[in-house]
Structure 1
């Protein structure tokens, strides 16, 4: 990307300033708006239409999760990266279910935030390693047993879904119709007891079918 417009959402002005300086050191990265609560984030998003939102979860009033949900309801194409102190699987799960595309903890290295912003801007999933581990352990007590329920083609479809590929891309890669891929997708969820694609990602991570790095590399095939 030659240019990238970013909305920063955090209730601490000093913290936002630090993020701004870090991100704007990257060629083409530009912070076009800032917000300190969920309502302001929604208004700022509608006004600025940024490429990526960097969203904290701990906001005064409505939480960052609510802000993510509200923005995604208005624009299903919104790309939101949660950047927060909360490492727990429950927080990450709620953020992904609300529509976030990435989740990075503030204990991560600064370069991790920069990397994740770039990945989310390209429509790829991004998670810091600590979050990926928390999700895998928390959500699936017997991930290997769940994977054993799948046939070879279902396992491959799961790997590609967890890597961030679209139905159309998977269909082209496996020489299948989009409808067939959708049927596999539904069957996989049914067999492993998953309700969301986020849970499929956790399963793939827990079983080693994909790693956080592999997911990003595989997602690059869509670009």
Structure 2
């Protein structure tokens, strides 16, 4: 039996995912979580075979959970889900160690397929994602974004959502100096000089939703 941890801040989404997964005889949802903090505690407690996490959640997001889990266990299998199919977002997740990426517009049976496939050691992309995006040449802006670490992407996301550096430090359990240093590195790597430019770039690459800005 493949043991799964579900992470999404919407209970209805978690319930839907759970029903879809448990239609497959080989999959059991052993725990659910609504935040990164809850999810990490559940991961440590239940040691799931596969963790399925939404990318966008209040506070710290799924990419930060991916970073924390992979730091704890480099062999952990984490599937990322998102309402967006941005190649930049998919690449960031895969380069950060995600075992696969499933969009919320994908056919329902893709979720169980993803769990079964990543258990074999293969990566999985949902049917509505172009398999070529793993090898296609990225545009100049995407190349810049690809330089960022998962932690830098999470700090960028929080800043673009309007959080102050101090709030980012509190949410990520970092010192203010560390966040400030990362903020400087992010701007240098992305080649932007203003907060507005950071927000616009985050919107273009679906690091945040336009509705949040």
TM bracket, shorter-chain basis: 0.5 to 0.7
**Structure 2 SS opposite 1:110:** coil
Give the C-alpha shift of residue 131 in structure 1: 2.6
Residue deviations 1:44-103 (CA, integer Å, cap 9, x gap): 101000000111101111110110010000011100111221200111111112210101
CA distance in 2: counterparts of 1:136 and 1:48, whole angstroms:
31
1:35 aligned to which of 33, 39, 43? 33
Deviates more, 1:27-36 or 1:4-13: 27-36
1:46 aligned to which of 44, 69, 77? 44
Counterpart of 2:137 in structure 1 is 139
Aligned pair count reads 139
CA distance in 1: counterparts of 2:107 and 2:59, whole angstroms:
28
**Structure 2 SS opposite 1:86:** coil
Residue deviations 1:184-213 (CA, integer Å, cap 9, x gap): xxxxxxxxxxxxxxxxxxxxxxxxxxxxxx
Residue 66 of structure 1 contacts residue 98 of structure 1 at CA under 8 Å; is this kept in 2? no
Name structure 1 gaps, 5 residues minimum: 142-223
2:11 aligned to which of 4, 10, 13? 13
CA distance in 2: counterparts of 1:68 and 1:50, whole angstroms:
14
Counterparts in 2 of 1:139 and 1:64: CA distance versus 1, 3 Å: farther
**Structure 2 SS opposite 1:131:** coil
Pair 1:109 & 2:92 matched: no
CA distance in 2: counterparts of 1:78 and 1:71, whole angstroms:
7
Counterpart of 1:119 in structure 2 is 117
Larger radius of gyration: 1
Pair 1:72 & 2:70 matched: yes
Counting helix residues as a fraction of each chain, which structure ranks higher?
A: 1
TM-score between the two structures when normalised by the length of structure 2: 0.61
Counterparts in 2 of 1:122 and 1:19: CA distance versus 1, 3 Å: same
Residue 102 of structure 2 contacts residue 126 of structure 2 at CA under 8 Å; is this kept in 1? yes
Residue 20 of structure 2 contacts residue 111 of structure 2 at CA under 8 Å; is this kept in 1? no
Name structure 2 gaps, 5 residues minimum: 140-213
TM-score between the two structures when normalised by the length of structure 1: 0.59
